Amino acid sequence: MTTALRPGFERGVRLRTADDGTAMLLVPEGAIKLNASAAAALALVDGERSIDDIVAHLCARFDVDDARARDDVTALFERLRMRRMLVLA
């Protein structure tokens, strides 16, 4: 997967952050609980930012290694793409 691609949510998929800060991905007839790092990455998904942009944002905000963040984010997005929750354009 090239990290110049821009991820966006598929139709019927949205991120919901509760008052207590916990996040879940709402999908047709389901909800996927997210850990903090997945939630942080998905909060940056807007169809405009590239994967590179998202990794850069995460590295600037959290104490995380660039290569590690790139691997984690790419793996997460690929999993969601395979389940048709994310489009990469």
Does residue 64 contact residue 58 with C-beta atoms inside 8 Å? Answer: yes
Rule CB under 8 A: choose which of 5, 6, 8, 10 binds another protein.
10
Q: How far is the CB of 56 from another protein (least distance, A)?
A: 27
Q: Does 47 bind another protein (CB under 8 A)?
A: no
Q: Does 14 bind another protein (CB under 8 A)?
A: yes
Tell the burial category of 80 from Cβ atoms under 10 Å away from its Cβ (0-12, 13-18, 19+).
Answer: buried
Give the end-to-end CA distance of the chain in Å, rounded to a whole number.
Answer: 11
Q: Which residues bind another protein (CB under 8 A)?
A: 10-14, 16, 18, 24, 26, 28-31, 81-84
